[in-house]
Structure 1
Amino acid sequence: MIAWHDVEEGREAEYLDWHSHEHMKERLAIPGFLQGRRYSVVGSGPQFLILYTVMNPDVFTSQTYLERLNHPSDWTQRVMPALRNMNRSLCRVAASSGFGAGGCLQTIRFSPELGREAHLRGALTSEAQSLTHQRGVCAAHLLIADKDRSKAPTRETALRTGPDAVANWVLLVEGYDEAVVAQDRSGLLEQSGAGPDIIGDFYRMDHICF
């Protein structure tokens, strides 16, 4: 699961405490959840980026996970209405290379041009492998969202101020050299078959939990 969002002005400290001291612990207690991360934006873009890694996509439709979403804690009920501009995307990992988690991360959201999906996927699979041999990069991943699963209504989603957006394809580049990780890769994506609406954002890690 990858999510980008803002937080109501003046409630950032409360949000950070809730996310670190309750939300990540709560999620990682659910069978199949392996890792949680939170990042803060550098420059413009959504304020926060959240990543949860699970064993397989079926974890997101498991009874335990849905039970948690439909019975949010008192603290969650107070914080959720403060979240703004939520993009919450449940994804399959289409390609992955490298290992470990970098202290900085670039997320690139895009959609494939019609008829060029296979070519784009192959090009980005090769690019992910190439990126992890570069100085300053430790891992790269291609994610493809499941829009139906991402849009399933729950009590927790109803607490937010508007409907969640869902990404289509996402390229993640993470590492330890900010200049290398943050490089503009939109030209490569366009040449390989991505549409013109490419959104790149850059983040630094706040908290990682296993």
Structure 2
Amino acid sequence: MTPLDTSLPDTDAAAANGLLFVASDVDADDDADFNRWYDQEHVEERVRIPGFLSGARYTSLEGGRKYLGLYRTQSLAVFRSPDYRAAFEKQTPWSVANLDRMRQPIRRVCAVRAVTGLGSGSHAVVLPLPMAADTEALVARAARIGKALTEQAGFVQSYLLVPDTALSTPLPRESTEGRVLQPMLVIETSSAAAACTARTTAAVAFDADPATGWLLALGWKLSAAELR
């Protein structure tokens, strides 16, 4: 049997993971309790939902919102499941309080496409991309760019997030005026310097503005396989 070549990008829509992308700012007075809630309750609570694979927390170094949570799932179907609906509809009082503390929140439920590389990086870039009329052409382009990024020092993984319009319902405090569900390229690296270099390379390749790319540091990550 020929071994799987993990350097080749995964562009199969049928096999795509899902991903919940939640970003927000928080007032300084609420910051400590917000982080306790996320670290002591919310991440584990979400990762325990059947079909969730992992949850990770990031803090912004440049651009975007101060905090970002990324939750990988087996597929987009997980977000239509009774288990997810129950968790979403039956929030704890602590969750209700902290969801209300989110400022300028962004919630997207996305398909994870054009996956290139393996592992989790200490830093990440989120690069919003122009809207595309042809999703599959965008996926192919992201795969080519991801393959080129593998040649750069510090590259770990890249993937394209394609928001699902029906599933990306807004958070309570999220503005719906002018709300655009842009695709996003996520690049994970082993250092901040590598992330900056990758951000510039990807932005040029996508005809995007590098200044719109978020630069983030990983706080911590929980895998479903770690739960008892």
Give TM-score, length-normalised by structure 2: 0.80
| CA RMSD, 1 decimal | 2.1
Match of 1:149 among 154, 161, 167: 167
Alignment-derived partner of residue 178 in structure 1 = 192
State the secondary structure of the residue aligned to 2:167.
helix
Match of 2:214 among 198, 201, 206: 201
Q: C-alpha distance in 2, partners of 1:119/1:17?
A: 42
Tell me by how many angstroms 1:177 deviates. 2.4
Tell me by how many angstroms 1:166 deviates. 5.7
Tell me by how many angstroms 1:69 deviates. 0.8
Q: C-alpha distance in 2, partners of 1:71/1:82?
A: 18
Q: C-alpha distance in 2, partners of 1:202/1:92?
A: 21
**Gap change, CA 1:187 and 1:148, over 3 Å in 2:** same
**Gap change, CA 1:118 and 1:61, over 3 Å in 2:** closer
Q: Which shows bigger deviation, 4-13 or 14-23? A: 4-13
Tell me by how many angstroms 1:197 deviates. 10
Letter in 1 for 2:89: N
Q: C-alpha distance in 2, partners of 1:150/1:197?
A: 25
Q: C-alpha distance in 1, partners of 2:132/2:159?
A: 20
Q: Could you tell me whether the CA contact under 8 Å between 1:109 and 1:198 is conserved in 2?
A: no
Q: C-alpha distance in 2, partners of 1:197/1:136?
A: 18
Tell me by how many angstroms 1:198 deviates. 7.8
Q: C-alpha distance in 2, partners of 1:10/1:55?
A: 36
Alignment-derived partner of residue 27 in structure 1 = 46
Q: C-alpha distance in 2, partners of 1:162/1:119?
A: 30
Q: C-alpha distance in 2, partners of 1:120/1:29?
A: 32
Q: C-alpha distance in 2, partners of 1:50/1:166?
A: 19
Give TM-score, length-normalised by structure 1: 0.87
State the secondary structure of the residue aligned to 1:23.
helix
Long gaps (5+) in structure 1: none
